[in-house]
Amino acid sequence: MTDTFQQKRDEARHYEKALAAWFQHQFGAYILPTYDYSGLQDNKPPRLMGANDAFVIPDLLVTKSGRMTWVECKWKTHADLFRKTKTLCTGINARHWTHYQQVKKISGCDVVIMFLHIQEAEMRGDFIDTLKNSIHHTYNGGKMGYNGMVFWDYNKLKKWCPLSDVMKYKEVSNDNA
Q: In what order do the strands lie in the sheet with 135-139?
A: 80-82, 87-93, 149-153, 135-139
CA 50 to centroid of chain Cα atoms: 22
CB atoms within 10 A of CB 128: 19
Confidence of residue 142 (pLDDT cuts 50, 70, 90): confident
- Based on the structure, what is the number of domains in the chain? 1
Classify residue 49: in a domain, yes or no: yes
CATH assignment of the domain containing 162 = 3.40.1350.10
Classify residue 37: in a domain, yes or no: yes
Residue 177 has pLDDT above 50, yes or no: no
Query: What would the mean pLDDT of 119-140 be, rounded to a whole number?
Result: 97
CB atoms within 10 A of CB 176: 4
Classify residue 175: in a domain, yes or no: no
Query: What would the mean pLDDT of 124-149 be, rounded to a whole number?
Result: 92
Confidence of residue 6 (pLDDT cuts 50, 70, 90): confident
In angstroms and rounded to an integer, the radius of gyration of the C-alpha atoms of the chain is: 16
Classify residue 126: in a domain, yes or no: yes
Backbone angles phi, psi at 46, to 5 degrees: -65, 150
- Say if CB 17 and CB 170 are below 8 A apart: yes
Task: Kindly report the average pLDDT of the chain as a whole number.
Answer: 90
Determine which of 51-55, 79-83, 127-131, 172-176 has the lowest per-residue pLDDT on average: 172-176
Classify residue 23: in a domain, yes or no: yes
Confidence of residue 176 (pLDDT cuts 50, 70, 90): very low
**pLDDT tens track for 54-81:** 999 999 999 999 999 999 999 999 999 9
Classify residue 150: in a domain, yes or no: yes
Instruction: State the residue range of the domain holding 11.
Output: 3-167
Classify residue 174: in a domain, yes or no: no
Residue 163 has pLDDT above 70, yes or no: yes
Q: Which pLDDT score, from 0 to 100, does residue 111 have?
A: 98
Confidence of residue 42 (pLDDT cuts 50, 70, 90): low
Confidence of residue 123 (pLDDT cuts 50, 70, 90): very high
Classify residue 103: in a domain, yes or no: yes
Q: Which pLDDT score, from 0 to 100, does residue 170 have?
A: 79
